[in-house]
Structure 1
Amino acid sequence: ISGNLLWNKTGITVIGSSSSLVPASGVFVDLNDTLYATDETTHYVIWRLLKNAVNPTIAAGTSGSAGPNSTQLNFPNDVYVDKSGNIYVTDCYNHRVQKFSSGSNIGVTIAGVTGSAGSALNQFNVPRYLTLDSTETYMYIADYGNHRVMRYSTSSTSVNTGGHSVIRWTPGALSGSFVAGVPGVSGSTSTLLTNPNGIKLDSYMNMYVVDSGNHRVQMFCANSNTGITIAGNGSVGSGATQFNDPRGIAFDSAMNMYIGDSFNDRVQKFMKL
């Protein structure tokens, strides 16, 4: 494996418990190794867990209150934190992207129209995952209901879930190339995926894909379309080595891996060996 990257396959629950369920989907780790996780349907908030802390706190949203105002979220799906500490959230059922300035609980809509689903260039239909480029100039949003990826300037690689594949676009290109999975074919072999969601690349150009339908995380070494299972055992469950519809993925500065284990209402941490 490029970079000799291996992880303990037994996960540690760092957010979510039997007494405090967190249906986490999106996860993000900032430059200070602070973990952020979306809470889609229980508290409708973004949780923040400081490095070495035990209990998370609310970074954005109003606990237990879904809605469209500037302090509320409705099914937040993904989160990104920029180098200045500003928080970006895909607010799915409000069909918008909210930006919370560092230290503020008041969101500003920077993309989409609150409460208005549509296919116009200023609209979304259930936006899901988002990311910013390395210079934080542009923001990319997976517009789930419109089957497209949108790019926005922040001053104002995508996953083909239903197609069971991952597509790579070269900047400026009009079409992409499939780099993992077989288009339209689902499966559980090392070359197939089923409803992939979260995706990350490391400095060695290894690609990590959350293979949601197979309840596992696959690692594809640079220039390889054969996956290696690095977390999950392919069976649905709530054990320390299992997932139930995992979605988001993030790494901290030590390359410890965090997975939003959605239907198990938790975030799992896998220690790098």
Structure 2
Amino acid sequence: MLLMRNTQTLGVALGLALVASLGVRSTLVAQAPPNPYRIVEGWAQLPNGKPMGAVGKVTIDPDGRHIWAVVRCDRLADPARFGDECRDSKSDPILRFSPEGKVVKSFGGGIFIWPHGLDVDQDGNVWVTDAVADNRIPKGDKRGHAVFKFSPEGKVLMTLGAPGQSGNAPDRFNSPSDVVVSPGGDVFIADGHNENGNNRIAKFSKDGKFIKAWGKTGWAPGEFRAIHAIAMDARGRVFVGDRGNNRVQIFDQDGKSLTTPWTQFGRPSGIAFDSKDQVYVADSESDDIENPGWEEGIRIGDAKSGWVHTFILFPWGDPRQRAGDGAEFVAVDRDGNIYGGEPRPKRLQKYVRVRP
């Protein structure tokens, strides 16, 4: 009798242990590891207390310390103006922030309707895309569908595309969403922002001559739906945020696919790298319809293997909200601080690591 009781007790204990074990395992699968980063409240400050407009892409200056950001002109209360915030404004949308969050340089006023993508080349020149859609360009307006190269002081040095004219010819774009410049000076443009647009990568030489393009609208490898981000790692590989297909695609600089598309980074809106060969991917659009079961936030992983090891959850994310939220763009400075550009919340966030 005692043996039977002991056996029953042991069985119950084992059963409880198994349930607990399964519960822990389920929790680990469903939830992200502890977030080692914290937000620095109020870090970014515009001159004279001006309220922040919608924040586009952010990137790091060649000095590793200053931060460049697209801030779409003025803070507009009407949500219907998302997509053309600079249409009626002369405010500068291209801002350079000090490590302390103060604006130390600005330019670009009146040139854009919807400034979006941004890169700074090794010489400090600033490249910016205008991703405005055709239906938001006022009749006769010669802005949009172009990529501009500025000197560090803000002088226009080159224009790619035909401002105000969309198209799929080599010298035309359709809402180009992002740009990256290789160490050798070649320019790669994510063309473009719309699910049924050109959906291609266009490559130009450093002097603006068209070299080639690859990609089209679709779901297969090498095809895209709403390209939202483009970035280059230390190996020279081209990472493309194929947001409409919920994946990151990786190519060499001639357009050859290098690996099976990565789907472990959610619905990618922005991509960046640090000096430790880590990749940072901002997901601002995972929701119950577009990418059910995934949370909005910034995922950090190994750039070589793609293994995700850290997740910065966007704490105000709501999977029932389809408009997109949180950081669409991400950058990392030389000290490992992370910056998130949040268009709809109208914030430029700084994250610092508080735990190993």
**TM above 0.5:** yes
Q: Does 1:12 align with 2:12?
A: no
Contact 2:297–2:314 (CA under 8 A) maintained in structure 1:
yes
Following TM superposition, the consecutive aligned residue runs of length 4 or more in structure 1 with deviations greater than 4 angstroms are 16-19, 222-226
**Aligned equivalent of 1:134:** 183
- What is the number of residues matched between the two proteins? 242
| Structure-2 change in CA distance of 1:159 and 1:192 (3 Å) | closer
**Aligned equivalent of 2:174:** 125
- More deviation in 91-100 or 250-259? 91-100
Aligned-partner Cα distance in 2 for 1:74–1:108: 19
SS in 1 for 2:129: strand
SS in 2 for 1:142: strand
Q: Does 1:199 align with 2:271?
A: yes
Structure with the larger RCO, 1 or 2 (CA within 8 Å, 6+ apart):
1
Unaligned 5+ segments in structure 1 are 1-5, 66-71, 182-190, 238-242
**Aligned equivalent of 2:16:** none
Contact 1:216–1:229 (CA under 8 A) maintained in structure 2:
no
Q: Does 1:115 align with 2:164?
A: yes
The Cα of 1:228 is off from its aligned counterpart by 3.8
Contact 2:298–2:312 (CA under 8 A) maintained in structure 1:
yes
Aligned-partner Cα distance in 2 for 1:154–1:59: 24
- Residues 152-182 of structure 1: CA deviation (Å, up to 9, x unaligned): 112222110100000011344533533421x
SS in 2 for 1:36: strand
**Aligned equivalent of 2:231:** none
SS in 1 for 2:37: coil
Contact 2:59–2:119 (CA under 8 A) maintained in structure 1:
yes
Aligned-partner Cα distance in 1 for 2:328–2:305: 22
Aligned-partner Cα distance in 2 for 1:199–1:48: 19
- Residues 91-146 of structure 1: CA deviation (Å, up to 9, x unaligned): 22311111112323x424431111110000111000111111123x1111110131
**Aligned equivalent of 1:55:** 102
Return the structure number with greater helix share.
Answer: 2
TM-score (norm 2): 0.61
Q: Does 1:252 align with 2:333?
A: yes
Aligned-partner Cα distance in 1 for 2:314–2:71: 25
Greater C-alpha radius of gyration: 2
Aligned-partner Cα distance in 2 for 1:234–1:167: 27
Give the fraction of aligned pairs with identical amino acids, expressed as a percent. Answer: 23
| Structure-2 change in CA distance of 1:222 and 1:79 (3 Å) | closer
Q: After superposition, where does 1:1-273 map in structure 2 within 5 Å?
A: 7-15=36-44, 20-32=51-63, 33-40=65-72, 41=85, 43=91, 45-52=93-100, 54-62=101-109, 65=110, 72-93=111-132, 94-104=144-154, 106-135=155-184, 137-144=185-192, 145-156=197-208, 157-172=239-254, 174-181=256-263, 191=264, 193-194=266-267, 196-213=268-285, 214-233=295-314, 235-236=316-317, 244-273=325-354
- More deviation in 106-115 or 172-181? 172-181
SS in 1 for 2:122: coil
The Cα of 1:44 is off from its aligned counterpart by 5.8
Return the structure number with greater strand share.
Answer: 1
| Structure-2 change in CA distance of 1:260 and 1:246 (3 Å) | same
Contact 2:191–2:201 (CA under 8 A) maintained in structure 1:
yes
SS in 1 for 2:124: coil
- Residues 55-110 of structure 1: CA deviation (Å, up to 9, x unaligned): 32552222xx4xxxxxx222110222223322111122311111112323x42443
Aligned-partner Cα distance in 2 for 1:260–1:147: 23
Aligned-partner Cα distance in 1 for 2:202–2:71: 24
